[in-house]
Amino acid sequence: MLKVEGLRAGYGAINILWDISFSVDAGEVVAILGSNGAGKTTMVRAVTGMVRPTAGSIQFEGEELAKKSSRFILDRGIVQVPEGRQIFTEMTVLENLEMGAFNKATRAAFSKNLDVAYRHFPKLKERAKQAAGTLSGGEQQMLAVARALIGMPRLLILDEPSLGLAPNIVDDILEVASGMAKRDRIAVLLVEQDITKALACADRGYVIENGRIALSGTAEALSANEHVKKAYLGI
Ligand code: ATP
């Protein structure tokens, strides 16, 4: 579904990503792993059109996206839950969810998808009229994921969903994401520093080091890899 090849990108004169190639298929959860500053967020920004690649291709369902705008990419169904959630704190939970319906198709399906989002995260239904800024950190992350669901993703990108959250909430969020992959056949790209959690949820993964893919493989193979164990799992 998503096929990235030879991707190079950075900020101004500084190149961050070098020759990045990876793919995500429908029904799959693929983890992008790496430590602080490895280039994970830059990679997500390149896929979503927020950083312009200087080389390589980003094919999504056979269409080239490397030079397209963020709006064009969003309309193709690539929806991101950004690092730090970026919810609208002054707006209510429901108003935040309404912001997820960004085009005609998602507006038409809004009430159906709102039911689905509330089924996944019943807390949000209870707090629909509450200002989003008053939610707990975990609830805010749920809201960010629910808002992405309203956008009817074909590819859902989660950027560091575990950041600052209790482990059981992270588990809930990852369970919803992998449930969507398996049941609705969407593709999920999971960017994570918590490698144990990410590999427990993902089918496959890629490890980024200094802007390059250092390793790739099934979640099982990566969990058993000596370098991954030593450098990232501390075992
Ligand atoms: P983290 O897990 O800490 O979010 P990351 O793997 O997502 O890290 P990136 O955010 O992609 O890493 O950053 C990769 C490199 O790009 C870092 O050295 C960072 O300083 C640099 N960088 C990120 N954003 C910008 C920017 N807007 N302008 C210049 N350099 C940037």
Write out pLDDT tens, residues 70-83.
999 999 999 999 88
- At residue 99, the 3 state secondary structure works out as helix
Please check the confidence at residue 192 and state whether its pLDDT lies above 80: yes
Which pLDDT band holds residue 61 (cuts at 50, 70, 90)? very high
CA–CA gap between residue 97 and residue 107 (Å, rounded): 11
Atom of ligand 1 nearest to the CA of 208: 6
Q: Which of 35, 40, 189 to mutate to test the pocket of ligand 1 (most atoms within 8 A of CB)?
A: 40
With beta carbons less than 8 A apart as the criterion, state whether 39 and 210 touch: yes
With beta carbons less than 8 A apart as the criterion, state whether 15 and 212 touch: no
pLDDT for res 56: 98
Atom of ligand 1 nearest to the CA of 42: 11
Token duo for residue 158? 């989660």
Q: What is the pLDDT of residues 5-55, one digit of tens each?
A: 999 999 999 999 999 999 999 999 999 999 999 999 999 999 999 999 999
Average pLDDT of the chain?
95
Q: Which domains does the chain have, with CATH numbers?
A: 1-77+153-235 (3.40.50.300), 83-150 (no CATH)
Token duo for residue 13? 């004169």
CA–CA gap between residue 195 and residue 160 (Å, rounded): 11
Please check the confidence at residue 207 and state whether its pLDDT lies above 90: yes
Which pLDDT band holds residue 193 (cuts at 50, 70, 90)? confident
Q: What is the pLDDT of residues 167-185, one digit of tens each?
A: 888 999 999 999 999 999 9
Nearest residue by C-alpha to atom 10 in ligand 1: 41
Spell out the alpha helix ranges (H) of 63-194.
Answer: 70-75, 93-99, 104-108, 110-120, 122-126, 137-150, 167-184
pLDDT for res 145: 94
155 to 59, 163, 220: CA distances (angstroms) = 12, 21, 23
- Enter the DSSP assignment of 59: E
* Alpha-carbon torsion angle 87, 90, 93, 95, nearest 10: -90
pLDDT for res 89: 95
Q: Which of 14, 33, 41 to mutate to test the pocket of ligand 1 (most atoms within 8 A of CB)?
A: 41
Q: What is the pLDDT of residues 110-138, one digit of tens each?
A: 999 999 999 999 999 999 999 999 999 99
Of the chain, the percentage scoring pLDDT greater than 70 comes to 100
98 C-beta neighbours (distance < 10 Å), count:
16
CA of 42 to the centre of ligand 1 (A): 6
- The ligand 1 site (C-beta within 6 Å) comprises 11, 14, 16, 34, 36-42, 193
Which pLDDT band holds residue 85 (cuts at 50, 70, 90)? confident
Determine how β-strand 187-192 pairs with β-strand 29-33.
Answer: parallel
Crossing angle of helices 137-150/167-184, nearest 10°?
Answer: 10
Nearest residue by C-alpha to atom 31 in ligand 1: 11
Give me the residues paired with residue 188 across strands: 29, 156
pLDDT for res 47: 97
CA–CA gap between residue 56 and residue 232 (Å, rounded): 28
Which pLDDT band holds residue 233 (cuts at 50, 70, 90)? confident
Please check the confidence at residue 162 and state whether its pLDDT lies above 80: yes
Token duo for residue 63? 């269409």
